[in-house]
Chain A
Amino acid sequence: DTAVSQTPKYLVTQMGNDKSIKCEQNLGHDTMYWYKQDSKKFLKIMFSYNNKELIINETVPNRFSPKSPDKAHLNLHINSLELGDSAVYFCASSQDFSRWGTEAFFGQGTRLTVV
């Protein structure tokens, strides 16, 4: 059983389109995240959710809108896609964001290419 699963794995789309990435975790974790990995492999936090509530928004453009229907799901919707949005997007989850010793488990990533 996959612990954190994202769909789709690959996404190629044209500039200006709107797209969504879905994420689900079956670990029973309370906290979920979206990370962006750029072409230089740098990983940057975008959003953190705890029990469906947004707790971090790291100055991400408002074209990016996360949505958590329940604590096992965190989706990412991107409006008006731009070339600079091309990256690998990772969903992750952890037990409890307030516990500093808690590691995060990552999904397999979604490679988004905007053409």
Chain B
Amino acid sequence: AQKITQTQPGMFVQEKEAVTLDCTYDTSDQSYGLFWYKQPSSGEMIFLIYQGSYDEQNATEGRYSLNFQKARKSANLVISASQLGDSAMYFCAMRGTYSSASKIIFGSGTRLSIRP
């Protein structure tokens, strides 16, 4: 069975600092995709970044980067130069292959609060 673990229920960070949100995963699939989503207080789910299991380079999207360590089965999200608008819930997620491909499973989320 696949599993996503986010061990930080909540984090406080000073504005303009970088922040790392932790995510570890468990799967027996050789091929899989890892995703991060942001959920602001307004409630919508916003896709941020994707990393494939065979990608040799870490994914980056603007201020977001994914620190992918395959051997450790970790896929941490790094937000550089945090902004007040980054305050939100962040979810790590995964899609596997074969029967696991038909759904994306989510971790329990990390609530990030940015202090001015």
Q: List residues of A whose CB falls within 8 A of some B CB.
A: 31, 33, 40-45, 48, 50, 55-56, 58, 88, 90, 92, 94, 97-106, 108-109, 111
Contacts and interface: CB of A to CB of B under 8 A. Distances in A.
B91 interface: yes
Contacts of B101: 97-100
A39 to B, nearest CB: 13
A65 B96 CA distance: 26
A84 B32 CA distance: 33
B82 to A, nearest CB: 20
A101 B34 CA distance: 8
A106 B32 contact: no
Given A43-B91, A108-B44, A55 B108 contact: no
Interface of B: 29, 31-33, 35, 37, 39, 43-45, 47, 50, 52-53, 89, 91, 95-97, 101-106, 108-109
B10 to A, nearest CB: 11
Contacts of A48: 102-103
A44 B104 CA distance: 9
Nearest to B99: A56
B108 A45 contact: no
Contacts of B104: 33, 45, 92, 94, 103-104
A41 B89 contact: yes
Contact of A55 (B31, B53, B102): B102
Contacts of A31: 102
Nearest to B50: A103
Contact of A100 (B31, B39, B45): B31
16 contacts: A31-B102, A33-B104, A40-B108, A41-B39, A41-B109, A42-B106, A44-B106, A58-B103, A97-B101, A97-B103, A100-B29, A100-B101, A102-B95, A103-B33, A104-B104, A109-B44
A105 B44 contact: no
B47 A42 contact: no
